[in-house]
Amino acid sequence: MAQVSIDSERFSRRFEAFSEIGATENGGVNRPSLSDANLEARDTLVEWLSEAGLDVRFDEMGNIFGRREGRDDDADPVLFGSHIDSQYNGGKYDGVVGVLGALECIEALNDAGETTRRPLEVVAWSNEEGVRFQPDMLGSGVYCDVFDLDYAYAREDKDGKRFGEELERIGYKGDGPCEAADLHCYFELHVEQGPFLEQQGLPVAAVEGVFGFSWLNVTFEGQANHAGPTPMDMRHDAFVATADVTRAVRRITATEGTDLVGTVGSVDVWPNAINVIPERVEFTLDFRSYDDAAVDAAVERIEREIAHAAEREGLDYEVEQIMRVDADPFDRDCIDTVVDAAETVGCEYTRLVSGAGHDANYLNKITPTSMIFVPSVDGISHRESEFTEWDDVVTGAEVLLEAVRTKAAE
Ligand code: HGY
Ligand code: MN
Ligand code: MN
Ligand code: MN
């Protein structure tokens, strides 16, 4: 049997070409969900999947699948992939490494003329990032029955455009139902987006689970007024309350749990003028931990802080929970398959839990799942300077290939 191996050159050429789509001046990418750049990336991926001999389809959420028949075509397939939508000024490795890495695994099997007992399916999930259309992991969420289709189609971006309409506009609102098929398992190769692999000087991690998280949208409503003549004790300043709550996030993460993290990431101030007291502020809260009780405690405490801040400043307020995902450990056998694959490849490895959310969170609810991480230089991600050494990307793809071959033979 011919040696099956990742072709680093071919993989790199594809990755560099893909990185040109929606490229920013500082080496990142700007391919938010259902944007024109995301459309160009989708079309490019569909072309490459077809050229690799895969049977390509996309479902009513725009999730793109490429299928390679198995010797036993009725067997449940091995599914593997990630996402190709990006942050507004994001990194070019986030998600793409997992999708093009999966395609490269198919090419390696094709080159070697190796068939597999089970069918293989490569997937690119829609709207993983949740920055243009909240919440994130929307495509895999509908597929895994976490969200219903109408909810997803109705999600609006900041300009009031709806997900369903934008999906139709770009021509990726497929006919096929977005619902889970019977799967044998799911793997996702992804950059770590944190500092631990680099700190340990290791190229690969078998991922044992993903932090649970809660996303909240908060609105404070006060009173706009002139910044000059309005005495301080007559003000109802929505931004002062926002600042109080932001500070409270730090107090909570310092006391509610060892790995608990909290972020105020998006803030809209209205009317946002130098000489007007802010009337309305809409901002987001993102709490995460591998301990669900810590996330729940943080949400409870921040909701009290929000109420107190509003009372102090004489504001109205509203809190909307956009999503709550529990931390679920991945499947022990899939994790061990990744570990065995790393040993077959001959690379050093460790085991990690992911602080970043991934489509694998939801796939883990319906099929045995694990992930493979490769290092992020300086732990940077969701930033244009996101970088992973190419040798590490290739090693990650080799581990993915071995894990997929193992499971496809079962
Ligand atoms: O928020 C996340 O962790 C993911 O990048 N959507
Ligand atoms: Mn990602
Ligand atoms: Mn991301
Ligand atoms: Mn993610």
- Find the mean pLDDT for residues 305-331: 96
Domain assignment present for residue 390? The answer is: yes
Alpha-carbon distances of 39 from 84, 171, 319, 373, rounded to whole Å: 10, 9, 34, 27
In this structure, are 84 and 164 located in the same domain? yes
Q: Where are the alpha helices (DSSP H) in 72-162?
A: 96-112, 138-143, 149-154
List the beta bridge partners of residue 205.
350, 373
Beta carbon of 357 within 6 Å of any ligand 1 atom:
yes
Percent of the chain predicted with pLDDT > 70: 100
In this structure, are 104 and 115 located in the same domain? yes
- For 53-88, write each residue's pLDDT tens digit: 999 999 999 999 999 999 999 999 999 999 999 999
In this structure, are 336 and 289 located in the same domain? no
Q: Domain of 294?
A: 212-325
CATH number at residue 25: 3.40.630.10
Q: Which phi and psi (to 5°) does residue 150 adopt? A: -60, -40
Confidence at residue 228, expressed as pLDDT on a 0 to 100 scale: 97
Domain assignment present for residue 356? The answer is: yes
| CA 358 – ligand 4 centroid, Å | 4
Confidence at residue 257, expressed as pLDDT on a 0 to 100 scale: 74
- Any idea which ligand is nearest the CA of 190? 2
The total of other beta-carbon atoms located within 10 Å of residue 37's CB is: 17
CATH number at residue 268: 3.30.70.360
- For 179-225, write each residue's pLDDT tens digit: 999 999 999 999 999 999 999 999 999 999 999 999 999 999 999 99
- For 343-374, write each residue's pLDDT tens digit: 999 999 999 999 999 999 999 999 999 999 99
| CA 357 – ligand 4 centroid, Å | 4
Report residue 55 as tokens. Answer: 């049977």
Domain assignment present for residue 3? The answer is: no
Confidence at residue 2, expressed as pLDDT on a 0 to 100 scale: 64
| CA dihedral sign, ordered 58, 59, 63, 66 | negative
Among the candidates 325, 355, 370, a domain finishes at 325
In this structure, are 360 and 374 located in the same domain? yes
Does the bond joining 135 to the residue before it have cis omega, within 30 degrees of 0? yes
**Confidence check on the interface: ipTM exceeds 0.90, yes or no:** no
What atom in ligand 1 is closest to the CA of residue 87? 5
Tally of domains in the chain: 2
CA 313 – CA 32 distance, rounded (Å): 37
Answer whether residue 1 shows pLDDT above 70: no
Beta carbon of 356 within 6 Å of any ligand 1 atom:
yes
Note the Cα 233 to chain centre separation in Å: 44
Residue identifier of the C-alpha nearest atom 4 of ligand 1: 357
Domain assignment present for residue 1? The answer is: no
In this structure, are 157 and 72 located in the same domain? yes
In this structure, are 224 and 362 located in the same domain? no
Answer whether residue 7 shows pLDDT above 80: yes
Which residues have a beta carbon within 5 Å of ligand 4, which is an ion? 356-358
Residue identifier of the C-alpha nearest atom 2 of ligand 1: 357
What atom in ligand 1 is closest to the CA of residue 288? 3
In this structure, are 87 and 156 located in the same domain? yes
Work out the pLDDT band at 3, boundaries 50, 70, 90: confident
CA 181 – CA 192 distance, rounded (Å): 28
Confidence at residue 256, expressed as pLDDT on a 0 to 100 scale: 86
In this structure, are 88 and 191 located in the same domain? yes
Kindly report the average pLDDT of the chain as a whole number.
97
Q: Within 13 Å and on the Cβ side, how many CA atoms surround 217?
A: 8
Beta carbon of 22 within 6 Å of any ligand 1 atom:
no
Residue type, 246: T
For residue 66, give every residue at least 6 positions away whose Cβ sits within 8 Å of its Cβ, in sequence order, or none.
Answer: 49, 50, 52, 54, 55, 56, 103, 106, 121, 122, 123
Among the candidates 281, 309, 325, a domain finishes at 325
In this structure, are 267 and 404 located in the same domain? no
Confidence at residue 357, expressed as pLDDT on a 0 to 100 scale: 95
In this structure, are 170 and 240 located in the same domain? no
Among the candidates 325, 351, 385, a domain finishes at 325
In this structure, are 228 and 193 located in the same domain? no
| CA dihedral sign, ordered 288, 291, 293, 294 | negative
Q: Which phi and psi (to 5°) does residue 331 adopt? A: -70, 125
In this structure, are 354 and 269 located in the same domain? no
DSSP state of 140: H
